[in-house]
């Protein structure tokens, strides 16, 4: 049985989290608020990797790090939903 770990919300980088919220809001008019939930984790990982590669090669046409971070959170959400039966969060995370 996995050990239950109390979340440390005080350790989350809030500036980055607020930035991700902005990136998500920016995408809503084009994609809709919940359209990202229709895709599996691997789709989001692939898109995150493309954004990381674009960032690493110097492309400044988009906020590639912000978009990659969003895609990785989407992938994590999809993966957690798959492994946890997509139940509502209990406020406690299980270590892997």
Tell me the whole-structure pTM to 2 decimals: 0.80
Give the separation between CA 39 and CA 32, rounded to whole angstroms: 13
Looking at residue 93, what DSSP letter applies?
A: E
Q: What are phi and psi of 37, to 5 degrees?
A: -70, -15
Going by C-alpha positions, the residue among 25, 49, 50, 38 that lies closest to residue 77 is 38
The H or E element spanning position 94 is strand 93-94
Tokens for 18, please give them: 């607020």
pLDDT in tens, 18-48: 999 999 999 999 999 999 999 999 999 999 9
């Amino acid at each position: 049985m996995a050990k239950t770990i109390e979340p440390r919300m005080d350790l989350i980088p809030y500036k980055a989290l607020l930035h991700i919220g902005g990136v998500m809001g920016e995408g809503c008019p084009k994609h809709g608020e919940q359209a990202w939930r229709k895709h599996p984790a691997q789709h989001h990982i692939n898109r995150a990797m493309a954004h990381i590669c674009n960032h690493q090669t110097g492309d400044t046409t988009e906020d590639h790090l912000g978009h990659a971070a969003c895609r990785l959170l989407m992938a994590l959400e999809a993966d957690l939903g798959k492994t946890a039966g997509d139940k509502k969060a209990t406020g406690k995370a299980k270590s892997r």
